Amino acid sequence: MNTLPLASFGGAIEFIFTPQDSNVTGGNKVGGFDKSLELVLKHLEVTALALAIALIVALPLGLYLGHRGKGELFAVGFGNAGRAIPELAVIALVAVLIGVGLKTVAPALAILGIAPILVNTYVGVRQVEPATVEAARGMGMSESSIIRRVELPLAIPTVMGGIRSAAIVILATATIAPLAGVETLGDFIINRNVYGENGLLAGAILVALLALAIEGSLALLQRRLTSDGLKVKTA
Amino acid sequence: MTSPAVIAAAGEVGGDFFKERSSGTLPCQAQSDHLFCFDWAKDNIDRYGTPTVQHLEIVVLSVVIGFVVAFALALLAHRRRSLQPPLLAATGVLYTIPSIAFFFLLLPLTGFGRDTAIIVLAAYTLQIIYRNTILGLANVPDAVKDAARGMGLTERQILWRVELPLAIPEIVAGLRVAVVSTIAIATLVVFINAGGLGTQMYGSGNLTFPTSIIIAAAIVMAMALAFDLVLLTVQRLTTPWRRVRPA
């Protein structure tokens, strides 16, 4: 019994909305709308928390290094190395070494988001024309307002690209967070002997939809944040 | 319920683990508070051979298939510009869907095992390779193409002898990102029983223990570094003209 029947998709949709019988819970029903919603919210919570930590660490660092033109090897090297980190190992190590729960999982997921945000912020700021920065300096702007009011706005498309990658990798990895005791949507997938095949597929459908929704919202946010002047130039 | 058979298949390696862990004859492997147990690592390093080979096979097959498809799509879209936005959007959607979800969405079609793993990982590489190939082709200066045309080259010759060679740096850059991330993501194929180094981190439905997770992660990262360096060398060797001018 290697493949599931195609009709399982119907079962999965049903599972999301109405509780189903399970083989192992002794008559208790599993799944259903309330459970699905609970897991979606938990998934979003851990993703948002991890993304916030990654932003707090990586955004200022990337802006500073990019502004000073320093640490290219560090920023870009870190970004490349970050891609090679196996997500499963991060979650597994945190669970077996440090402990389970939101407090350990969120910082662990944040590690995966730091690399894309750092490298994109750095590259975005470095791409700003030196003449533009000189002009701002000539107008009497302080270094910190050059970063905030000139470099960051001009780098927004690249920075947001990094934030979107970070959000997706964190959201994707949050799927295996149940291994470290955080009940995200991955619970439906990993505890397949409790939830059955319908639960398995339901989890996959919900995770995929959530990822597409987050990616779509961040793309919209990017358009809102990009200054109108930049849009005219690139259009 | 497919679970028992499925877990047994996934747990072949993991099963061994726990047998040996509980036997108590080997040093320190049972304590999860040990960060790294060198004695255990020394005695058990041979168990990583098969998973490493499986991991390599999955990565190489996925990237080769992904490259062929993405490259063909890029050439098509290079010829017909109107295809570029829809292809970018389509590959973007494939790239956005988390791989674990993608594995199980394919379950009704392709089932547990390596086929599903390779399809998902190949789909994952499409966007980056496609985007970089298009970018590389677009970056070829018009003057160069005009010169080639003036020398009497046909459009096909211009593509293969002028545009593609000049696009190699971008294409290889995309390939490097694709290979490195595929090597890392391939640890997740353990969830659809496709083997690989993920089995040494999560086996029999349980996490293993720090020493094993660290060894497996180190092999994954070393593999990524090695492939990255090989591709960088390929890029240097295939673009000798870039070495003349300092980048």
Min mean pLDDT across A17-31, A134-148, A219-233 is at A17-31
Reported as a pLDDT band with limits 50, 70 and 90, residue B9 is very low
Smallest CA–CA distance from B33 into chain A, residue: A97
Task: Report the C-alpha gap between A47 and A192 in whole angstroms.
Answer: 23
**pLDDT tens digits along A37-92:** 888 898 999 999 999 999 999 999 999 998 888 888 888 888 778 888 898 989 88
CA angle, residues B237, B242, B247, in degrees to nearest 5: 120
Smallest CA–CA distance from B179 into chain A, residue: A84
Domain definitions of chain A by residue range: 33-227
ipTM over 0.90: no
Residue B7, in any domain of the structure? no
Q: Using an 8 Å CB-CB cutoff, list chain B residues near A186.
A: 100
Q: What is the pLDDT of residue A210?
A: 93
Q: What is the mean pLDDT of residues B70-90?
A: 91
Task: Report the C-alpha gap between A83 and A80 in whole angstroms.
Answer: 5
Smallest CA–CA distance from A199 into chain B, residue: B104
Q: Which two tokens stand for residue A208?
A: 């995929």
Residue B77, in any domain of the structure? yes
How buried is A7 (Cβ within 10 angstroms: 0-12 exposed, 13-18 middle, 19+ buried)?
Answer: exposed
Q: Which two tokens stand for residue B193?
A: 């029983």
Reported as a pLDDT band with limits 50, 70 and 90, residue B5 is very low
As for how many domains chain B has, the answer is: 1
Percent of chain B with pLDDT over 90: 43
Count of all residues that appear for chain A in the document: 235
Q: Where are the alpha helices (DSSP H) in chain B?
A: 3-23, 38-44, 49-79, 84-96, 99-105, 107-110, 114-138, 142-150, 155-157, 164-185, 210-238, 241-244
Q: Which two tokens stand for residue A161?
A: 């690209």
User: Is the pLDDT score of B185 beyond 60?
Assistant: yes
Residue B201, in any domain of the structure? yes
Q: What is the pLDDT of residue B182?
A: 94
Task: Report the C-alpha gap between A99 and A181 in whole angstroms.
Answer: 9
Query: SS3 of B41, please?
Result: helix
For residue A192, give the nearest of A184, A181, A203 by alpha carbon: A203
Q: A16 near B123, Cβ under 8 Å? A: no
Greater pLDDT, A204 or A1: A204
Range of the domain at B202: 49-239
Question: Does B98 sit within 8 Å of A208, measured CB to CB?
Answer: yes
Q: What is the pLDDT of residue B245?
A: 56
Q: Using an 8 Å CB-CB cutoff, list chain A residues near B224.
A: 83-84
Residue B79, in any domain of the structure? yes
Q: What is the mean pLDDT of residues A181-206?
A: 85
Greater pLDDT, B14 or B174: B174
Percentages of chain A per state (helix, strand, coil), in multiples of 5? 80, 0, 20
Q: Using an 8 Å CB-CB cutoff, list chain A residues near B192.
A: none
Unique residue bearing structure tokens 């683990």: B17
- The single-letter code of the amino acid at A124 is G
Task: Report the C-alpha gap between A155 and A10 in whole angstroms.
Answer: 45
Residue B37, in any domain of the structure? no
Homologous superfamily (CATH) of A33-227 is MetI-like (1.10.3720.10)
Question: Does B3 sit within 8 Å of A4, measured CB to CB?
Answer: no
CB-facing half-sphere around the CA of B189: CA atoms within 13 A? 30
Q: Which two tokens stand for residue B3?
A: 């679970």
Residue B29, in any domain of the structure? no
**pLDDT tens digits along B196-221:** 888 888 877 777 778 888 889 999 99
Residue B245, in any domain of the structure? no
Q: Which two tokens stand for residue A156?
A: 């927004």
Strand partners, A19: A31
Residues 77 through 106 of chain B touching chain A, CB cutoff 8 Å:
93, 96-105
Reported as a pLDDT band with limits 50, 70 and 90, residue B42 is confident
Reported as a pLDDT band with limits 50, 70 and 90, residue A235 is very low
DSSP letter assigned to residue B113: S
Residue B59, in any domain of the structure? yes
How far, in Å, are A39, A78, A190, B204 from residue B15 at the CA level?
30, 36, 18, 6
Q: B149 near A51, Cβ under 8 Å? A: no
- The single-letter code of the amino acid at B76 is L
Q: Using an 8 Å CB-CB cutoff, list chain A residues near B32.
A: 96-97
For residue A55, give the nearest of A172, A128, A162 by alpha carbon: A162
- Biggest CA pair distance of chain B: 78
| Residue B122: CATH number of its domain | 1.10.3720.10
Backbone φ and ψ of B207, nearest 5°: -70, 150
User: Is the pLDDT score of B24 beyond 50?
Assistant: no
**pLDDT tens digits along B114-131:** 999 999 999 999 999 999
Of the partner residues A97, A197, A215, the one whose CB lies closest to the CB of residue B96: A215
Strand partners, A31: A19
